[in-house]
Structure formats: C-alpha cells, structure tokens
Structure 1
Amino acid sequence: MQLTQLLAMPRLGLSPVVAPPTADVPRIRGVYTTDLPDPGRYLDGGELVLTSTTWYHEPRDADVFVAALAGAGVAALVAGTAGVGTLPAALGEACTRHGLTLLTVDDEVSFAALTETVLAALDGAARRAPSAGLHRGLVAAMASGAGAEGLVDVFARATGVWCAMLSATGRTLAGGVPEVTEQQLARAHRDALAGGGFPAVRPLTGGGLSLFPVQAPAAHRPPAGYLAASGDYRDWAPGVADAAWEACALLALDKSATQERRRIEARFLREAADLLAAGQEEPAAAHLSSLGLDPGTPLTALYLSTTGGSYGPELAATVLEDVADRVPGCSVPIAVDDGAYLMLAPTQEPRVVDAAERLAPLLGNGRAALGTGSPATGAAGLRRSIEEARHAHRVAALGTGTVRTAGTGELSSHLLLIAAVPDDVRRLYRDRLIGVLERYDAEHGSDLVGTLTAFLDASGSWQRCSEQLHVHVNTLRYRLQRVEQLTGHSLATLRDRVDFCLALSIT
C-alpha cells in the first residue's frame, strides 16, 4: 500500500514530522516494531517501522538508528512518545539528513492497532489476486471482437486494478484510470519512453502508474501500444502482473492481424503510386477508389522519415499508422527505403506532427523530417502532390530540431537546391566557409559565426547589426574583417554574401 493511503486514515492520528517525498512515494510492504539501537539486519525493505525511542540516549544514537533504517530501504518511521514524553530533536534531524519519512502517532493509538490496520490493508490487496478464470475471460473478450475495450474491462473487474489501453504514441484508446486525466497518461507515456525500459513505473500525485508494452508484430518495430495500470506493479497481488502481460500479448495478436491487412492495402496503394508516376492516371484512379480513397476529394501527400534511436526508419511507419487509425478517409502508410508516405485530408496534417512529437523520445539524437505536398484532386494532382512531398522532405531534413517540417512554400527557396546536392558536397562546402570560423571560435572564445549570421540577417546594415549585437561599429568591422581573412571571401560583394548565406543554411 502507499504511504499516502495510510496518512489519509484520520483514525490513526499520524502526523508527519519529516514529510514524505512528493515524487516516488514510499510503498509499505510490511510492519516491524523495534527498540533495538541498530535493527538493520532484521529489515528487508519497504517496512513501516514502529519504535518507542527508548533506545535513544544521545544524538549519536539517532543517527545510528536512522542510518540503519535508510540503508535497509524502509518505507517510513513511526515514533511513539507515550513512554518518553517528547520526541528527540536529533531524531528529526537524522531523518532529514538521510531522507527518511518520520511520523508521530497519537498516544491513544497503540502500535498493535496500527499494525493490525496496515496488515489488514495488505491482506485485502492480496485477496484481489486474479482468479483462474481470468485467462478464459481475456481470451473470450478478444474472441468476441470486444477488442481493447473488452480486455481492459475484464482485467480491471478481475484484479481491481484500473487500466487504460494507449496507442503507440500515448493516446488513450480504451479504459481509464480514475482521477488520472488523458494528459497525465500521455505525459507518463512520454516520460517512460525517455526513461527507457519496460514495465515502467511513473509517479503520480497520490500513487503511481505502471506501463506495460504491447509488443509489435516485428521485433524491430516500436511497441504497438501500452497498457497503463494504476499503482506500482511491484505492489500488486501475485499473478496480477502476469495477467497484465497476458492482456498485452492478446492485444499484440489483434495488432498483428491489423498489420497484415495494412500490408495488403499498402501493396495496392504502392501500385497506384507507381501508376501515377508512370502517367497512367485512369488505372491509378481505379486502384485508389478500390481502397476507399476518392480521387475527387482533396488529398495531401506526406513523406515522413525518422533517423536515430533504436528503431530508425521503422518509427516513421508507426507514427503514420497511428494517424491512419484515427483519421477517416486516410490511406494506409506506404513504406519506402527511409520512411513512409501517407495521403490524407489537408486539414489533418497537424496530427502527423503531433504523433511524431509524441514519439520524439525514441529518436534520441536523431530527427524526424516531414515533407508535405499541396492539396490535390484527381490522379494527376496526387502525382504532383507526391513529388512535392518528396522534395519538401529533402528540405525538411536540412532543418534543425527533433521534428522538422517543410511544405510547398519551401520549394521556391534556395534550400531545395541545397537539398539536391550530395551530402558530402554540402559538408565540404559548409566546412570551407563556416567550419574554419567555428574552429577559430572554439580556440579563441570568439563568436565570428554569430556575428556573421547577425550581419547577414540585418541585410548588411552595419548600424542595425551593431545595435542588435550591442557592440560598437568598429568592433563589428574588426570581427567581420577577421571573417574575410579566414575564409578568403569578401562581404562587400553580393556573390560572396550569397555563398555565406547558403553555407549557414546547411546544418
């Protein structure tokens, strides 16, 4: 049970002297009463320790006693004052130093009554262990077509543990946890991704939340979803965590069937894309109509790629599949070498960005690049939108940040020309003009790159740039002369200024 649950019982008269932490609230797994000066050898961790403090004679005694408790990992210390009159100040100081929660109890409440209350609460949780029929109930719910909603309902009723089914990006699909909002569930999911490792326990006000992964059909894919359940799974009754894993396994089977259907649809959609590329608009339109896509309705092509993290390009398909699950009239994703395509209504593009940002923790130091074509109708228009999305994606990849986006507005920018240049040529070009400045800045603690950027942003205005940088014009001239000396380019000519602008746009 949670320590906060015990403090919420007014009849016990417990009062904090050293308050429990607001995060990672201690869990009580047993009760131990002692007046030994050093009881560490008899503790296993998680106990609520009760003491009358008759062992206390001098401040050093408090430090020895509390250090033993903290080292064993007990949940909290309850000190009674019926036999000693007042609580030693050194005890509170020692608990503060060692980070141990210290409580006092009313003189009218006996240690026996406190022990009985805690053990009854722990025993009550044990009696909620799942019955032998839970397995049959979970399987029956899935076989009946009840899906995620039926599974979480069966699990919650049988175990007393409230739970919710989350999508791969942390959206709530079914069920719920009382007093936990969808925003809190999504935040717990994001924190768990950033922390790595499952099952994960995330602290929440008044308790915790355990997240179990629904394994994807393929080992190299991210989890297909998550089961979020109230409390810390380590405190559950025997068998409950196993039941949670079983529910996740059944959900994974359901996801596997969905994946197989999507693979078939994606093959037909890829054929339609190939027909569009070949200019065969009539058969392409027929393919699209057979997949439920109306060529007469405006659609936008999107191209998403993901690099870095544990999953690389596979993460792009997961993001787009999450969008396809909740957007009517949306195509299935089409996997390509480094990402995936999707066609959907123009107004739904923000959903793709939102889904990518939700899974950003899995990218690590990588990035997601999203290119968007213009809205189009008809086979010819869709062919143009797909081409635009592909080119916009190359521009987005040049951007900064974890999730980078670009649309048709960037296709008239010089960035499109840079994106068409091979990576090694771009790197060489940037290093020749900007790399030398960066190395100089690192060696001398200067900021020539920042000064150059500010000067070009000010359209070459010495006065405006000096005001922006809060330096004298002569200082600005000195810095830019050093830029010219190091690079061999002159800021007095438009041609060389263009070279600098292009080099700075390469990341």
Structure 2
Amino acid sequence: MQLDRLLAMPRLGLSPVVTADAPRIRGVYTTDLPDPGRYLDGGELVLTSTTWYHEPRDADVFVAALSGAGVAALVAGTAGVGVLPDALRDACARHRLTLLAVEDEVSFAALTETVLAALDGAERRAPSAGLHRGLVASMASGAGAEGLVDVFARATGVWCAVLSATGRPIAGGVPEVTGQQLARAHRDALAAGGFPAVRALSGGGELTLFPVQSPVAHRPPAGYLAASGDHRDWAPGVSDAAWEVCALLALDKTAVQERRRIEARFLREAVDLLAAGQETAAEARLRGLGLGDSALGALYLSTTGSPYGAELAATVLEDVADRVPGCSAAIPVDDGAYLLLVPEGTDGVAEAAERLAPLIGHGRAALGTGSPATGAAALRRSVDEARHAHRVAALGTGTVRTAGSDELSSHLLLIAAVPDDVRRLYRDRLIGVLERYDTEHGSELVATLSAFLDASGSWQRCAEQLHVHVNTLRYRLRRVEQLTGHSLATLRDRVDFCLALSIG
C-alpha cells in the first residue's frame, strides 16, 4: 500500500511532519524499544509512543535503526511525552525517513486494524482453485472480454478494464476510474515501456497494465488489461491469473485475426481489379465482403520511426475497424502504407494514431483520406485520392500528419510526386543556406522570409506582424536575396521560395 493512500484516510488523524520517498507499506509494527532494528524486516509502518526518548541522541539511535531496516514510515504519538521532540524531526530529516504525527484521540490499535484491513482486504484475496476453470468456461461460452473480467473480479476482488491497442475501453471497468484516466495511464505506460506497468492515478490510487499479445508478428500489443491497484500488493496467484486473462484475450484476438486475413485476401483482389479497370468483378468481390452497397471512403496510413514499422499503422486501422461497423480489413499497399475502406462519416482515425504517439517516437504517422464514393468506379477514384493525399500528408509537420482529397488541388501534390532526393536538394539550395546563416549568426532570415510571403509581399503588414521597422525588414530580405541569388521582386522567384518552404 502506498503512503499517500494511508494519508487520504481522514479518520486516522495522520499528518506529515517530515516527508521523504517512502517504500510501500507491507505491514505494521508497534514498538517503544530504543533500538528495534533486529525485529524489523522492511516495509513496516512503525508506530511508537516516543516514551523511549530522553535525550537528542536517543532519537538518532532509534531513527537510524528504522532507516537501516528499510521501514516505510514512522508514526509518532505524543500522548505520553506531551510534544514531539525536535530531535526526532531532525533525525528523520537526516536519515530521509517519513515521519507522521497522529492525533491523541486515535489509538494505535485502531490504526493497526485499519492498515491491516487495507492490506488484507479484497485486493489481497487469493484466487480460488476454480478460477482457471471459470475463465476457460467463460471463454468457451462466448461471453468474451466482459465475461473474463467479471469472472476474474469475482474471484480476486480486483476490478479490471480491457483496453484496445490504442487505449480505448472495450470491456469491464474500474470503479471511480474514468475513460480519460485509463487513456492517460495507457499513454504513460507506452512512454515508460516495460510491462506490467504500474501507473499512479491523478485522483489517487494505481492501475497495473498487462499487455495482450498480438496474433500478428512484429506488432505492438493488441490490447491491455488495466487492473485496479499495484500487482505487487496482490495476494499470491492473482498476477498469474491476470496473465491468464491476457492469454485468453489473445486467443480471442487470434480468431478475429484469422477472419480478417480471409477478408484481406478478397479485398486485395478487389483493389487489384479496380486498378486494372475490371469494375464489375471488383464490385462482386466487394459485395462478397458486405461492402458493395454503401458509400465508402479510402484511408491510407503509414508510420515511420517506430520499432514496429508499418505494422503500427495496421494496428491503428484495425482499432478503427473494431470501433466502426462496416469497415473493411486493413491491407498493405504501396508507399509502406496500409489501406482501409470506411463508411462515410467515419472519424477518429488521427486521434487513434495520436494515442500511440509514444510508440512513434521521433517518427511520424501520415494519413491520407479519399472522398466517400458509391460504386466501383468512384471507389477507385477515392483510393487514388487517399494515396496521393497520403503523400501530401507525409510532407507536413508534427507526429500525426493528415491530408484529405480537398488538398489535392494544392501545389503540395506536385511536390509529393517529386523524388525525395530532388525535394531535399531543391529545399537546401534555397532554404538550407538561410538556415545555416541563421544558425551561425543568430538571425531570423527563414522566419522573416516566411512571414513576408504569408503577407503576400506587403512590407508594412509583414513589418507589423514581426514587430520590426520596415527598414529592418528590407535589410533582412536583401540579405536573403544575396545569399540565395533569387529576387523577391519577381513572382517566379517568390513561387520558388514558397515551394521550398513547403518542403519539411
């Protein structure tokens, strides 16, 4: 049990006197021995009436014994001595031991009973021998994730929520823990790495997150089991039971993935037929998947910089497909992306990618969307739009970059079609020289050039936006022209600068 949970119990009348990093409380020990070190194992909440204190040296001997044994904290009563000795405060501060004062009206017996009840309460209940049979029977009955967490909670007293790969609650629940808190704990656990992960909740308490293994190699976990409390405080066998729940959830995911694999094969055939112009055959394949009669839009998503590579994109899209009825399976396509067909009005794809941002690291996710379409010919156009929009999105900035079909009339589409090495060379010749000059001289030529072009070449408006004098602006832009060999007086050169700045 964490110390802050103990302090949150108002009926105990505890108040901190000296605070330090405290180990977890694993027991209670009451003593008035001058040197109780030999009787301590570590992790105890030590209760003392302080009657052993006669001189300042006594405090140092007593506290040194507690600190050396690794106790969690010291609770000192003053009913027998009147006031808390200053020497005791000083010794606890010196040895970095948490010291708590207790009100005279609170008996040590009541304090001990309360702490032991918290340690040995529902969350410490050992699972019965029949838990394994109950979990397997629940899975066999088709009760799914809801049935598994219900059986687990009844047997152990530990409440659980099942989360999707992106941290979306899909079954069960933890009392007084909101979906937002679950999402935050999921994101923090991904950022920290390593499972099971214990995360503190903003309102007090803790969650332990266990991963559910993906049935597809090289992908992140397919989901998570978020259980109330710290698994290190659970009774023997409870953690093993939680891992068994995760294994059964993974088994259920395997069955779902097998269905998706079959659907993906037919969708691949339909997309290839669309590309070949065989619209009638493509429509037949789509109808076989239940996708031929409603408006669908195409999504292209790729991820880079993650140890999971493009498979992280597949994880995001499959999470969307689980949430939104009427989606296709996700299939790999060109540009290292995955394609998903979604019903008209589907949203939340970028948000799902943002939830996995800790796994992207310094990389990026690029999402391109096509217009909703009905019929094979229109769907082919939507797929083409999504592919080109994906290339435009990849030129953007930020962790999750998006572009839609409405951006395909932009010059960015032309830039996206240019090979990467040509884009880099083009940008370096115009902007790279300015960036290097800014770095060496602490100037702001790139920012000034961008602001000038955004102001459509208006000297006065640009100067006001940058909060500089017009003469200062003219000096900076003359320097830009000298360094690049381009003139801002001509439309052609201004277009060159605009294009170069749009290349991230």
User: TM class by shorter-chain length?
Assistant: over 0.9
Query: Could you report, residue by residue, the CA deviation over 1:74-100 in whole angstroms, capped at 9, with x for unpaired residues?
Result: 433201112321012454466567765
Question: How many angstroms apart in 1 are the aligned matches of 2:117 and 2:344?
Answer: 58
Q: Which amino acid aligns with 1:166?
A: L
C-alpha change, 1:301 and 1:124, in structure 2 (3 Å) is closer
After TM superposition, list the pairs within 5 Å mapping 1:405-484 onto structure 2: 405-484=402-481
Query: Could you report, residue by residue, the CA deviation over 1:328-349 in whole angstroms, capped at 9, with x for unpaired residues?
Result: 111111123512111112311x
1:151 aligns with 2:148: yes
C-alpha change, 1:285 and 1:53, in structure 2 (3 Å) is same
Q: 1:493 aligns with which of 490, 493, 499?
A: 490
- The corresponding residue for 2:278 is 280
After TM superposition, list the pairs within 5 Å mapping 1:20-99 onto structure 2: 27-34=24-31, 44-54=41-51, 74-89=71-86, 91-92=88-89
Question: How many angstroms apart in 2 are the aligned matches of 1:25 and 1:331?
Answer: 51
After TM superposition, list the pairs within 5 Å mapping 1:238-253 onto structure 2: 238-253=236-251
Q: Percent identity?
A: 83
- The corresponding residue for 2:173 is 176
Q: Which amino acid aligns with 2:220?
A: P
RMSD: 2.5
Moved more, 86-95 or 54-63: 54-63
C-alpha change, 1:328 and 1:126, in structure 2 (3 Å) is closer
TM-score calculated relative to the size of structure 2: 0.93
Query: Could you report, residue by residue, the CA deviation over 1:392-451 in whole angstroms, capped at 9, with x for unpaired residues?
Result: 000000000111000111111111111111111111111111111111111111111111
Question: How many angstroms apart in 2 are the aligned matches of 1:225 and 1:50?
Answer: 43
Q: Which amino acid aligns with 1:271?
A: E
- The corresponding residue for 1:260 is 258
Query: Could you report, residue by residue, the CA deviation over 1:235-264 in whole angstroms, capped at 9, with x for unpaired residues?
Result: 001000010001001100110111111011
After TM superposition, list the pairs within 5 Å mapping 1:247-396 onto structure 2: 247-294=245-292, 296-336=293-333, 338-348=336-346, 350-396=347-393
Question: How many angstroms apart in 1 are the aligned matches of 2:309 and 2:58?
Answer: 56
Question: How many angstroms apart in 1 are the aligned matches of 2:394 and 2:25?
Answer: 50
Report the count of equivalent residues: 502
C-alpha change, 1:89 and 1:334, in structure 2 (3 Å) is same
Q: CA deviation at 1:162?
A: 0.5
Question: How many angstroms apart in 1 are the aligned matches of 2:82 and 2:152?
Answer: 50
CA contact (8 A) 2:124 2:233 kept: no
CA contact (8 A) 1:18 1:96 kept: no
Query: Could you report, residue by residue, the CA deviation over 1:127-154 in whole angstroms, capped at 9, with x for unpaired residues?
Result: 6100111111111111111110110000
Question: How many angstroms apart in 2 are the aligned matches of 1:494 and 1:41?
Answer: 86
Q: Which amino acid aligns with 1:339?
A: A
Q: Which amino acid aligns with 2:258?
A: E
Q: Which amino acid aligns with 2:171?
A: A
Q: CA deviation at 1:478?
A: 1.2
Moved more, 37-46 or 139-148: 37-46
C-alpha change, 1:38 and 1:125, in structure 2 (3 Å) is farther
Question: How many angstroms apart in 2 are the aligned matches of 1:504 and 1:211?
Answer: 43
Query: Could you report, residue by residue, the CA deviation over 1:208-254 in whole angstroms, capped at 9, with x for unpaired residues?
Result: 11110001113411100000010001100100001000100110011
SS at match of 1:506: coil
SS at match of 1:305: strand
Unaligned runs of 5+ in 1: none
SS at match of 1:48: strand
SS at match of 1:297: coil
Moved more, 379-388 or 83-92: 83-92
Q: CA deviation at 1:73?
A: 5.2
C-alpha change, 1:67 and 1:206, in structure 2 (3 Å) is farther
After TM superposition, list the pairs within 5 Å mapping 1:192-271 onto structure 2: 192-204=189-201, 205-271=203-269
C-alpha change, 1:451 and 1:63, in structure 2 (3 Å) is farther
After TM superposition, list the pairs within 5 Å mapping 1:394-405 onto structure 2: 394-405=391-402
Q: Which amino acid aligns with 1:457?
A: D
C-alpha change, 1:104 and 1:395, in structure 2 (3 Å) is same
SS at match of 1:347: coil
CA contact (8 A) 1:14 1:103 kept: no
Q: Which amino acid aligns with 1:293?
A: L
Q: Which amino acid aligns with 2:48?
A: T
C-alpha change, 1:198 and 1:68, in structure 2 (3 Å) is farther
Query: Could you report, residue by residue, the CA deviation over 1:64-122 in whole angstroms, capped at 9, with x for unpaired residues?
Result: 76577567654332011123210124544665677654322233544455334433543
Question: How many angstroms apart in 2 are the aligned matches of 1:367 and 1:253?
Answer: 31
CA contact (8 A) 1:18 1:100 kept: no
Moved more, 79-88 or 266-275: 79-88
Moved more, 130-139 or 51-60: 51-60
Q: CA deviation at 1:462?
A: 1.1
Question: How many angstroms apart in 2 are the aligned matches of 1:462 and 1:416?
Answer: 30
Q: CA deviation at 1:486?
A: 1.3
CA contact (8 A) 1:201 1:211 kept: yes
After TM superposition, list the pairs within 5 Å mapping 1:122-161 onto structure 2: 122-124=119-121, 128-161=125-158
CA contact (8 A) 2:426 2:500 kept: yes
Q: Which amino acid aligns with 2:359?
A: L
SS at match of 2:408: helix
SS at match of 1:501: helix
Moved more, 427-436 or 73-82: 73-82
Question: How many angstroms apart in 2 are the aligned matches of 1:471 and 1:302?
Answer: 45
Q: CA deviation at 1:18?
A: 3.5
Question: How many angstroms apart in 1 are the aligned matches of 2:373 and 2:172?
Answer: 38
CA contact (8 A) 1:77 1:100 kept: yes
TM-score calculated relative to the size of structure 1: 0.92
CA contact (8 A) 1:25 1:203 kept: no
CA contact (8 A) 2:49 2:79 kept: yes
Moved more, 280-289 or 59-68: 59-68
Question: How many angstroms apart in 2 are the aligned matches of 1:268 and 1:447?
Answer: 54
